[in-house]
């Protein structure tokens, strides 16, 4: 099992439809060994279709068969993911699995984030160009720091061949990396 899979499977996942701000859709990830909880909120969500949901709970679901997909007109530039971290250990990396990796066709048919801006509660702004891959991408942050809030904004996208919505499979603080450094 991958490092991210272990992180995600360590604790129970508690989902709720708590709205942080008007227009936001939120989901709560419950406690793990390395964090008390994390609240994921998104600025928009594509409505469910054919039994598939595209909400923020998919951002911490380790399955490649799910993804958060934004739900505004156009390609999704300016849409945001907000993560509030409660009781997490310090970290310096953010893991992103871009796109909707259910299949090669699904990945290509939907948009993927190309450039993202990560803003932290410490005032950091990190602009990153993501490669067009569904594989794990590491975004380096200053640290290790005990961040409490992150905002990831889609600046521009790799357009989908068929659909305008932009999807992201997983976004996760890499707590496990810090843990692995302790044992080296």
Residue 23: the pLDDT is 52
All domains of the chain in start order, with CATH: 3-182 (2.60.120.260)
Residue 150: the pLDDT is 98
DSSP the chain: --HHHHHHHSS--------SSTT-EEEEE---SS-SEEEEEES--PPPBTTB--SGGGGS---TT--EE--SSSS-TT-EEEEEEESPPPEEEEEEEES-TTSHHHHHHSEEEEEEEEEETTS-EEEEEPPS-SS-EEEEEEEEE---EEEEEEEEEE--SS---EEEEEEEE-HHHHHHHHT-
pLDDT surpasses 90 at 10: no
Q: Distance (Å, rounded) from C-alpha 165 to C-alpha 51?
A: 17
Q: How far is CA 29 from the centre of its chain?
A: 12
Q: Which residue, 170, 151, 65, is CA-closest to 112? A: 170
Mean pLDDT of the chain: 88
State the residue for tokens 């090669």. 104
Residue 182: the pLDDT is 80
| Tens of pLDDT, residues 62-107 | 999 999 999 999 999 999 999 999 999 999 999 999 999 999 999 9
Q: Distance (Å, rounded) from C-alpha 8 to C-alpha 12?
A: 9
């Amino acid at each position: 099992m991958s490092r991210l899979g272990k992180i995600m499977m360590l604790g129970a996942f508690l989902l709720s439809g708590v709205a942080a701000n008007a227009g936001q859709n939120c989901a709560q990830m419950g406690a793990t060994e390395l964090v008390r909880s994390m609240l994921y909120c998104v600025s928009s969500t594509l409505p469910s279709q054919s039994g598939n949901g595209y909400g923020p709970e998919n951002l911490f679901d380790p399955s490649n068969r799910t993804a958060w997909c934004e739900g505004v007109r156009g390609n999704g530039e300016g849409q945001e993911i907000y993560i509030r971290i409660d009781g997490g250990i310090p970290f310096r990396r953010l893991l992103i699995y871009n796109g909707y990796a259910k299949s090669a066709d699904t990945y290509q048919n939907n948009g993927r984030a190309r450039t993202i801006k990560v803003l932290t509660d410490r005032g950091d702004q990190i602009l990153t160009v993501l490669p067009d891959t569904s594989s794990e991408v590491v975004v380096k942050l200053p640290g290790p720091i005990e961040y409490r809030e992150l905002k990831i904004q889609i600046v521009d996208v790799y357009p989908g061949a068929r659909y305008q919505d932009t999807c992201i499979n997983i976004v996760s603080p890499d707590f496990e990396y810090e843990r692995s450094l302790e044992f080296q």
